[in-house]
Structure 1
Amino acid sequence: MESEDAVSGLIDRFYEAALHPELWRETLEACARVFGAEGALMLPGPDAPLELACSPFLDAAIADGLGRGWLAHNPRVLRGIPAMRDPARVLTEQHIFSPRELDHLPFNAEYVNAHGLRHFAGCYLVPAGGRSLMLSLERAPRSGAFTPAEVEAMERVVPHLQRAGRLALRIAEARAGSTLEAFDLLRCAGLLLDGAGAVLRMNGRAAALMGAGLTVLQGALIAQHGPSNAALGRLIGSVLGGAVGPRRGSLGPVCRPVAVPRPVAPGALPAAPLLVHAAPLPGAAGDLFQQARAVLLIVDPAEAHPPAEGLLRELYGLTAAEGRLARMLGDGRDLGEAAVALGVAVSTARTQLKAVFAKTGTRRQAQLAVLLAGLGRGP
């Protein structure tokens, strides 16, 4: 281990990363260096809707573990959570594996050892059973196992790291909550989904629509109309990367909005179906403490008009210029008219339109117009 000053500096870096999630990778690299490890990673418990992150040294090992399924049934996590009855404890491989298991258990023999690693020391960053987030320091055989003195020194630091972890969670929750507040201001019904597709939160407008063809059952948003429910599942799967799960790959293509019929009372005329749109939550991909990974927007077409630029920027990540152009096209103007109105060259407007297509998952102006017509529900 490095000096006490280095350990104090590391604690400060954890608090800084809690405020600025883009710093977690370099913070993990510093953590590994301070505690004499080759690498460090943060890994969620089996039920935690959080992201995994690691220092650069572990990139290849983590990619292999995710790709071949080793980390889906990680015995370190499955054995470690019951073993850490004291949330301030630091656990090593010696606490959960026998010497023979370190050499012959498939997870160790075929995965950990194959990547030139062997020893680890782990602790809770956020203690919550299966929904925990853990910090693990990784050592190669040449570096030797963590000694009792090193473990004791790490345990003195754990309370500080856990306070930083709780702070990071609260900040991530506040950021997600601000998205729902923005939808409220725009008079939109919004729901936040975690990485497994479960509903985390919804605003009051969304809650008021539950029962009108949509409901939340065991954490999942369900359409009461069978074909619409299947389409809704595909929509959610697409925005979470094609394979719904807490540790998914890159985002897949954006699916078309789903029309959900509303129940019709006897003798009443049928109302227009609700439209459900989905988009990745802006900024969520870079924050491993962010449980909310996507947003669903429920639109009543009977109340629709061209969407506000702020909504387009919030939902699809459009720039201000792209939002203005998209809204004009939604009003029925062609590209040349919009360019003149915006005071830009047609070539500039065409470049902006390509960016709008890419961000909204559309390919032609007609598709974009249909999307905006269904989405429109500005203030």
Structure 2
Amino acid sequence: MSAKLDALDVIERPVTERPVVTSIRSRFPAYDDEPEAAEIVPLDRLIGAIYEGPMESPPWQSALQLMREALRAGHVTLILRPPTSDSAGIMINTGKTTMEGMESYSNRFFALDPFVRLKEGEVVTAEELIGRQWLESPIYKEYMRSIDVRHLLGADISGDGVECRLRVTRPHGAPEFSAQDKMLCRTLLPHLKRSIQLHTRIDFLECERQLFAGAVNRMLLGLVIFDQNGTIIETNQEAKRILAEKDGIRLFGNALGVDSSTESRELQSMIRHALTGPCAANNGAPGIVEAMSVSRPSGRAKLGVLVRPIPLGQWSESKQRPAVAVFLRDPESNAAQPSNELLRKLFGLTRMEASLAMLLAEGFTLDEAAEKMDVRRNTARTHLRSIFCKTGVTRQTMLVRLLLNSVISVS
């Protein structure tokens, strides 16, 4: 048996027979612009790179490069989102490309591309799809030929809201794609599809995380996250601001420290209980939320501190997962005020009414608000009565509570 096995030898070998070599070898020694780099590309390395792709930036860059080497291609391109008349789309390229060439395709030539809407899982060449007319097509004559693309191999991936395209090229003078090349692509396609689905899920979770993190920041809640080892793994913008002031609470290395020894012991005890309590045991018992205040040497109002355990997931295995959240509140922080326009839309207020409502929410009395607005007290009272009518409240304290508890607090 020859020691030089290609991808098809490995793929088609019965499972009862263990192959000695599981690799894709160069089949075109004469066509090799990188003689050493792509001599052997292990199949397991290629598949591994596909599943590691969602963690890369840009995603799948390593996998596409390995595919380019294995297929002796000029380019391997993954079109994550095809271009449209309204959007340039998203393309991940390997090989020699220019920004001008990519923009040309995204802005114009995508509309001329006949190599679209392929059958799911099908791997075809341009000639197989449209025949010899490929060389007479506008996209070849006006675009592909200018960037030295002669042979084009493609497959589409669709389903679950995903519409991606895999395209492989070779330049003029290179061999056409063989049945073995197409078999390799067909073998990799299911793995690439699953990896893209994982990427979609991760992207959704990241968008959700950023949305909630932004809401917490806008509410001026400091957030410090600990892992199961008691190590800080994340702090948000407001927490960084509070800790940077070093006024009562600060960072000591990778741990929280409090200036007062008594308060420090209390905080460390709360964090320790959260790390070792019912949530950490994953027995379904609710975690205990604890709170305390931290005095500040500057004499400013005390900081509020709340410690909440984060329940252990049923299938969690990593000790670096978030285990405890510590919330910090500075009562003297001034939240960014919502726009006058937002208040008007939310409650149907006039500009003057919205301005008065914002001043009252900031803690000003009616007289102080009237002075700031440069109106008479009676005029301010008239505006306040109108605000009461539109919001359905009957007292100033109720109005302030309504404003602070409405969606404007996360705007």
TM-score, length of structure 1 as denominator length = 0.46
TM-score (norm 2): 0.43
Q: Highest relative contact order (Cα 8 Å, sep 6+), 1 or 2?
A: 1
- Where is the helix percentage greater, Structure 1 or Structure 2? 1
Larger radius of gyration: 2
